[in-house]
Amino acid sequence: MRWLLILLAALLALPLTAQDAMPPAPYAYRQLDDPALEARAQGLMAELRCLKCQSQSIADSDAPMAGDMRHQVRTRIAAGEEPETIRAWMVERYGDYVSYAPRVTRTTWPLFAGPLLLLAIAALLLWRRFRKKA
Amino acid sequence: MNNWRFFLPLAVFAAFIGVAAYQLTQPKDEFVYSAMVGKPVPQFAMRAASSDRPGLSPADLKDGTPKLLNIWASWCPPCVAEAPHLAALKAQGAPIVGVAIRDRPEDVATFLARYGNPYDRIGADDLSKLQLSIGGSGVPETFVIDGNGIIRYQHIGDIRAEHVPLLLEKLREAGE
């Protein structure tokens, strides 16, 4: 009986969190009424990094700040903004790191050029080898 | 076929291990810095966060005097640790304005009564709007704003004793 009580208490215990007492932002957990707009918002939210919990997207995170970011994304989509405009707004404030969608920039181009270069080298090697045999 | 070519893949692999090992020994910086340093403070509209200090408007950040803009919250434990160092900054002449993130007036009042009030003005950022538009990644965080409302420096995390002279220096630079 005592063990059961302890177990119950452990189950009901809330982790000590440094969270605020304010209710979540209106659109943190509420979907937009228009499914098409909600789908656009979801698409963007899955590709924006939560700044508090950096391996999660804001769509996955329960951090209050991620909730506020979702609220901002949803209200701006509802107001007619394009997802890419909102993404650019975030990148302007936090840099490329805030977006999960890869971009070709001055620092990232070798990541894209590297595989192409390796493919070209492989093709060249193969071509030379087969030409010798023929 | 030359002999050295045979070892080329191994050399590439060794170089990769070397780079990875070096990176592992470097301290990890997990902060996402604001890209807004050097740019003007974005527009915002906020209610006052407490009854005994006026709220904050964009015009207050352009009044010719460089300021510290401290983003904090009454529910944030590092903000408690930071309080005495904000008081030290205030005592050494730094004007400080505050932005309370997701906070209730009664909680703000309790916090300020307990840990001191170094703020000239406190705005309430209920939906983290200013925090997001200024590129802030958490609480507490402190920005140095010059007299024209340009963001000059960002300090992420709580201010510790060793950061006080640094912030005073940044504030002085912002006034030049």
Q: How far apart are CA A94 and CA B133, in angstroms?
A: 9
Put simply, whether B75 touches A (Cβ < 8 Å) is: yes
Amino acid (one-letter) located at A92: E
Chain A residues with beta carbon closer than 8 angstroms to that of B75: 18-21
Put simply, whether A58 touches B (Cβ < 8 Å) is: no
Put simply, whether A96 touches B (Cβ < 8 Å) is: no
Q: How far apart are CA B49 and CA B85, in angstroms?
A: 21
Chain B residues with beta carbon closer than 8 angstroms to that of A69: 128, 132
Is residue B21 domain-resident? no
Mention the CATH class of domain A23-103.
mainly alpha
Amino acid (one-letter) located at B147: G
Q: How far apart are CA B22 and CA B54, in angstroms?
A: 51
Indicate yes or no: CB of B35 within 8 angstroms of CB of A94. Answer: yes
Put simply, whether A53 touches B (Cβ < 8 Å) is: no
- Closest Cα in chain A, distance from residue B163 (Å): 23
- Closest Cα in chain B, distance from residue A34 (Å): 23
- ipTM for the predicted complex comes to 0.85
Chain A residues with beta carbon closer than 8 angstroms to that of B73: 20
Q: How far apart are CA B107 and CA B127, in angstroms?
A: 17
| Ordered alpha helix ranges (H), chain A | 2-12, 35-45, 64-78, 83-94, 109-133
Number of domains forming the structure of chain B:
1
pLDDT at A43 over 60: yes
Q: How far apart are CA B139 and CA B108, in angstroms?
A: 14
Residues 18-47 of A with CB under 8 A from B: 18-22, 25
- Closest Cα in chain A, distance from residue B132 (Å): 8
- What's the mean pLDDT in A86-110? 93
- What's the mean pLDDT in A71-78? 96
Amino acid (one-letter) located at B80: V
The residue to which tokens 């300021």 are assigned: B67
**What are the residue ranges spanned by the domains of chain A?**
23-103, 104-134
Q: What is the CATH number of the domain that holds B83?
A: 3.40.30.10
Is residue B88 domain-resident? yes
pLDDT in tens, B35-87: 999 999 999 999 999 998 999 999 999 999 999 999 999 999 999 999 999 99
Is residue B34 domain-resident? no
pLDDT at A16 over 60: no
pLDDT at A90 over 50: yes
B167 and B152 in contact (C-beta within 8 Å)? no
The residue to which tokens 């107001």 are assigned: A79
Query: Given this model, what pLDDT does residue B1 score?
Result: 56
Domain boundaries, position B87: 47-174
Q: How far apart are CA B98 and CA B73, in angstroms?
A: 9
- What's the mean pLDDT in B156-173? 96
Q: Beta partners for B142? A: B70, B155
Q: Helix, strand, or coil here: B6?
A: helix
How many Cβ atoms are within 10 Å of B150's Cβ, its own excluded?
18
Query: Given this model, what pLDDT does residue A111 score?
Result: 93
Put simply, whether B57 touches A (Cβ < 8 Å) is: no
Q: How far apart are CA B164 and CA B86, in angstroms?
A: 8
Residue of chain B minimizing CA distance to A26: B127
Put simply, whether B100 touches A (Cβ < 8 Å) is: no
Indicate yes or no: CB of B131 within 8 angstroms of CB of A22. Answer: no
Put simply, whether B49 touches A (Cβ < 8 Å) is: no
Is residue B39 domain-resident? no
Query: Can you say how many angstroms the Cα of residue B77 is from the centroid of all Cα atoms in its chain?
Result: 16
Q: What is the dihedral of CA A9, A10, A15, A20, to 10 degrees?
A: -20
